[in-house]
């Protein structure tokens, strides 16, 4: 009988421990004992058992030799060497049996030469599948615990960091040919955007002018282009800068498991920060303002951009142009839900377009009347300022309560650990409860961030003015110089909170009611001219 041997290990570290060599030595002794002559060796070193046999390097050779009938018996150290999935094992055995080859395990009491052996094979294949799932589950729980402890478990290391002894730390080493480190580059990017208000395009141009190397260039890494690995251009792009600015890792918050496509828990843990949370938030706000204020692709300046909301889908209106009488382009405000399938409904938003000139004139005239009407304006501004001060006090009170709730979350873990020590609950129960506590804590922290933004907004609005009269005088001074679009835009942003469009169908035609919501409590509906 011609005998072939198939050996496999799944990881490189198993190969370093000599697992393959152990299988080879065992096979030689086994064949000497049973007086078998080995005609073929197939050794897959560092190949996962979840890959089908015919897709493995040596497994493909085995399948090819199988067609030429170069052996009669295939010996494996254990059945799980053929695969770690019941489906893969049974498919491989079926293909071997169809070619007239008998599969035998050197350490398990079965072969496929008789019915009882095939029955036992099915059971062992299921056991191999169960073992793999159990190992994966244990590794998953272990990885989660290690991640919560702050260990770096692989993946892309953000620019400005490095991994030392399994933990993430700030990279302070100077870049080649520069006095700055990667961390210094990150801080400079955040200051340029968060403090100076530069766009991502200008920051990318500045970094390229300084010849700051990207991570791929510095490390000599290649990228895949088709079937080849090629060097990158080594250029900073606005998209690369934007992705780094929105990365929460730089403010000390890393989300483990975010990149995986599997349905698994995302663990938020603390890591060393490079920039302060205040600077990080300032950079986010600056990028948002830059996005709203961008004029690059606009042929017309839209006074109400970013302020008009659709009451149907909740999305913003944006500027656009359509041909009118005589083929001339007429500017409109169009709901973003009409061009995308986002929102609370299926399909495109049925909202009505707004003629840009008409709606801008209506809102601007209302702003002018608001500023020039001293009696009602002062009354409304004073009332609003008092209400806002009261709201700020409520925000501060809620923030204090949330901080106390977060501090008690850590104390909730100790009773769970006590139950675990007394063998009342399992490690999986501990993992589940700790996960709930972490999720609840993260939700509370998110609410803290929202409250901080609200408190900051209140401070920004009223910190410059002690009285309503001072604020009103400031607005009137700006109104005197409102000849330019920038000046008018600044006034509108100061006074108008939002413009809401409610579309209803009447007589089979859409009709829109536009409501202007001022920051200072005034609501002005506009229903004339058919909108």
List active site positions.
10
* Strand ranges, E, within 114-164: 161-164
3-state secondary structure of 125: helix
- Assign 356 to helix, strand or coil: helix
Q: Measured between alpha carbons, how far is residue 258 from residues 79, 122, 155, 164, 381 in Å? A: 35, 37, 11, 22, 45
Cα–Cα distance for residue pair 284/268, rounded to 1 Å: 20
- The whole-angstrom separation of Cα 518 and Cα 502 is 17
Alpha helices by DSSP H, 35-114? 57-67, 86-98
Nearest one of 358, 371, 289 to 501, comparing CA atoms: 358
Give the residue among 320, 288, 267, 270 at the shortest CA–CA distance from 438: 267
Q: How far apart, in whole angstroms, are the C-alpha atoms of residue 529 and residue 531?
A: 6
DSSP at 330: E
Tokens describing residue 108: 């398990």
516 three-state secondary structure: strand
Buried b (16+ CB within 10 A) or exposed e, 403-413: eeebeeeeeee
**Token pair listed for 483:** 């000849």
Q: How many Å is the Cα radius of gyration of the chain?
A: 34
User: Which contacts qualify for 104-107: CB closer than 8 Å, 24 or more apart?
Assistant: 104/73, 104/74, 104/75, 104/76, 105/75, 105/76, 105/77, 105/78, 105/79, 106/26, 106/27, 106/30, 106/75, 106/76, 106/77, 106/78, 107/26, 107/77, 107/78
């Amino acid at each position: 009988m011609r005998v072939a041997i198939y050996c496999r290990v799944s990881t490189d570290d198993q190969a370093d421990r000599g697992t393959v060599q152990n299988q080879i030595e065992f096979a030689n002794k086994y064949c000497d004992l049973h007086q078998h002559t080995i005609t073929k060796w197939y050794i897959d070193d560092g190949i996962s058992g979840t890959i089908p046999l015919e897709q493995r390097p040596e497994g493909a050779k085995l399948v090819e030799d199988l067609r030429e009938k170069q052996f009669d018996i295939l010996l494996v150290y254990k059945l799980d060497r053929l695969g770690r999935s019941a489906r893969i094992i049974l498919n491989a055995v079926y293909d071997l049996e169809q070619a007239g080859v008998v599969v035998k395990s050197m350490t398990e009491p079965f072969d496929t030469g008789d019915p009882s052996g095939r029955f036992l094979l099915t059971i062992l294949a299921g056991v191999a599948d169960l073992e793999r799932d159990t190992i994966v589950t244990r590794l998953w729980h272990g990885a989660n615990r290690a991640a919560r402890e702050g260990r770096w478990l692989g993946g892309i290391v953000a620019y400005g960091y490095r991994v030392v002894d399994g933990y993430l730390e700030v990279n302070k080493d100077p870049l080649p040919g520069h006095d700055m480190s990667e961390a210094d580059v990150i801080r400079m990017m955040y200051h340029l955007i968060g403090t100076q208000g530069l766009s991502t395009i200008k920051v990318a141009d500045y970094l390229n002018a300084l010849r700051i190397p990207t991570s791929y260039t510095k490390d000599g890494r290649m990228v895949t282009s088709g079937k080849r690995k090629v060097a990158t251009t080594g250029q900073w792009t606005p998209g690369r800068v934007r992705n780094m600015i929105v990365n929460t890792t730089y403010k000390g918050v890393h989300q483990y498991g975010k990149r995986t496509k599997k349905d698994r828990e995302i663990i938020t843990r603390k890591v060393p920060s490079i920039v302060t949370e205040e600077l990080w938030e300032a950079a986010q706000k600056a990028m948002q303002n830059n996005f709203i204020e961008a004029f690059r692709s606009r042929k017309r300046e839209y006074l109400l951009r970013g302020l008009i909301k659709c009451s149907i889908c909740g999305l913003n209106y944006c500027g656009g142009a359509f041909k009118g009488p005589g083929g001339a382009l007429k500017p409109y405000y169009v709901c973003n839900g009409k061009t995308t399938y986002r929102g609370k409904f299926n399909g495109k938003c049925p909202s009505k377009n707004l003629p840009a000139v008409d709606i801008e004139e209506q809102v601007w005239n209302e702003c002018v009347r608001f500023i020039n009407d001293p009696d009602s304006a002062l009354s409304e501004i004073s009332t609003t300022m008092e209400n806002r001060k009261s709201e700020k006090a409520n925000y501060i009170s809620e923030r204090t309560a949330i901080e106390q709730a977060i501090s008690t979350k850590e104390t909730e873990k100790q009773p769970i650990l006590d139950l675990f020590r007394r063998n009342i609950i399992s490690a999986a129960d501990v993992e589940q409860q700790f996960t709930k506590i972490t999720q609840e804590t993260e939700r509370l922290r998110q609410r803290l961030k929202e409250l901080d933004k609200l408190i900051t907004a209140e401070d920004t609005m009223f910190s410059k003015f002690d009285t309503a009269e001072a604020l009103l005088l400031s607005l009137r001074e700006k109104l005197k110089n409102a000849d330019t679009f920038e000046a008018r835009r600044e006034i509108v942003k100061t006074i108008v909170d939002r413009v809401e469009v409610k579309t209803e169908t009447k007589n089979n035609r859409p009709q829109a009611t536009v409501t202007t919501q001022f920051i200072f409590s005034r609501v002005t509906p506009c229903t004339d001219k058919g909108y």
